[in-house]
Amino acid sequence: MEIRNIAIIAHVDHGKTTLLDGILRQTGAVTAKEDGERIMDHNDLEKEKGITIKAKNTSVSYKGTRINVVDTPGHADFGGEVERVLATADSCLLLVDAFDGPMPQTRFVLGKSLQLGHKPILVINKVDRDGSRPSAVVDMTFDLFHDLGATDEQLDFPIIYASAKQGWAVQKLEDAPGTDLNPLLDLVLEHVPPVQAKVDSPLQFQVTSLDYNDYVGRIAVGKIYGGKLSRGMNVIQLAAKKEVKDEATIYKVTKLYNFEGLKRNEIEIAEAGDIVAIAGLPEVFIGDTICEPGKAAPMPAIEVEEPTVSMFFMVNNSPFAGKEGKFVTTRNIRERLDRELETNVAMRLEETEDKDRFKILGRGELHLSVLIETMRREGFELQVSRPEVIFKKGENGEKLEPYEYLVMDLPDQFTGSIIAELNRRKGELQLMDAHSTGMTRVEFEIPTRGIIGFRGFFISETKGEGVMSSRFLRFDTYKGEIAGRKNGALISMDSGETTAYALWKIQERGELLIGPGTSVYPGMIIGIHSRENDLEVNPVREKKLTNVRSSGADEAIRLIPPRRFSLEQNIEFLDDDELLEVTPQSLRLRKKLLDPNMRKRAGR
């Protein structure tokens, strides 16, 4: 059977996973029981956030050809996932929204694809959307190809128009709406080169992702670049970036799988060009090459771009430490972080002088917050610090910091306040384009420091109607200090359970983050002060009762509902002298120094 290997790449929310759902249905690769929305997004976080976090493999059969498909994330923070799997594909489907046009992550993923020599197929998705402008988007995408240095062959890309949600594609816009996705699959067979199998060469299998099964242990997923792989054969493992040793340990391939729809099928043999999964190597890692004994042929290590943001992960030392978590010790946290680094190629860990504190480097706030949320759900308890950007030294010793290209679509009436805030955060306006729909596109170059904590302001300022995304641009000259959070915090001065009476008095001073009946401790943040300074308050005070009764003496206690922060909002809110306590049940903001006298001393 002929094999084609393709990846689906796009900016977040442009419809990659929905299109793959349609392809799986069209080819009968999923049963009625497996069907649903975003079928390939398996884990709970992906379903809740509506985004793809991990790259995934599947395959479909169409007209006697097996098409291996890789679904990739579209969010910039998970760009490492795209980089590690893109080399397994021989071409890609580049999805672009017919309304939005090319966005920051479109440039990133397309650039990586063109570097690998792919000849992408352009899929203009959501042509059924109100306000769509497919012809203009095709021109914008052509300009993007040109800007990224595409060759003449790559510039001659085929175009197809689709509605992934409705499950149809057409080669000519005037034929819309279509009836099915067969025109897209026909285009794949026509333009994606069939795998040129190097069956006679020595075995070369490179690992691009890892999985785990309680019965067979660690499972390595990757592409066979040369030779044949069969169940029961002896192999050696060549670690990425390490020299080859003659006395390499010999392992036996205990299981060999290929992909079909949502299933893994056990097979006996696979040949060069196929994407498969193997078991039997207990210590295999991403980037390793699997070869035959005596025929070592290591492949180049998988390179990904450097992290730009760091956070400290610490053992919880608050007064409530150990009450809610299952895994709370330094050893527990260290083992979990080491396990994450095995599969998360864009993440790094740096040792610190304090053994209870780990510096984790990632691509952005979301990249790190997904790890924190996953650990929390697994029963871990820890504390995290405010995200900080990673600085570098230039050739002349000058201080360099990461810059991002920020693109926003927002209603016209909010552009003034958003631009003013970004100017305060050292951003430079690059483009402002008003659409006839009442939306304006605003593009900024801004230090990564300026984006940290901006998303919450953007969502509230635009009443949830704005959309923003950014991509890493470059390391450039340090822009100077950026003013931090405008508002101070309301800090508990006592421990106990909060009372409605105390909170009723406190809410005049700012916005509450907790309600009555919540356990608090001294130094815990319970609200946002209406002024710039921090204010200590007593949220556990009870009303003094007397024997005197009189009608009308008691005022009715009316509490404004507290503002509940998500994990990402808590991380955005953090200031330099604050931490976030994360447990399976609670998220608590607190000061690093719980003692008020020590805080005053440190402030001086």
**Binding-site positions for GTP:** 13-18, 125-128
CA atoms within 13 A on the CB side of 521: 14
Q: Tell me the three state secondary structure of residue 102.
A: coil
Alpha carbon separation from 433 to 170, 213, 415 (Å, rounded): 30, 51, 11
CA gap 295, 293 in Å, rounded: 6
**How many Cβ atoms from other residues are within 10 Å of residue 113's Cβ?**
23
Q: Tell me the three state secondary structure of residue 207.
A: strand
Amino acid at position 145, single letter: F
Contact 468, 455 (CB under 8 A): yes
Cite the beta strand spans of 254-327 per DSSP E.
255-260, 263-266, 269-271, 275-279, 289-291, 309-314
Q: Tell me the three state secondary structure of residue 46.
A: helix
Beta bridge partners of 230: 269
**Helices then strands (H, E): number in the chain?**
15, 35
The interaxial angle of helices 454-461 and 415-424, nearest 10 deg, is 160
Structure-block tokens of residue 220: 């390595």
Give the number of residues written for the chain: 604
| Cβ within 8 Å of residue 276, ≥6 positions away | 205, 221, 222, 223, 224, 229, 256, 257, 258, 259, 267, 270
Write out the binding residues: 13-18, 125-128
CA gap 308, 402 in Å, rounded: 6
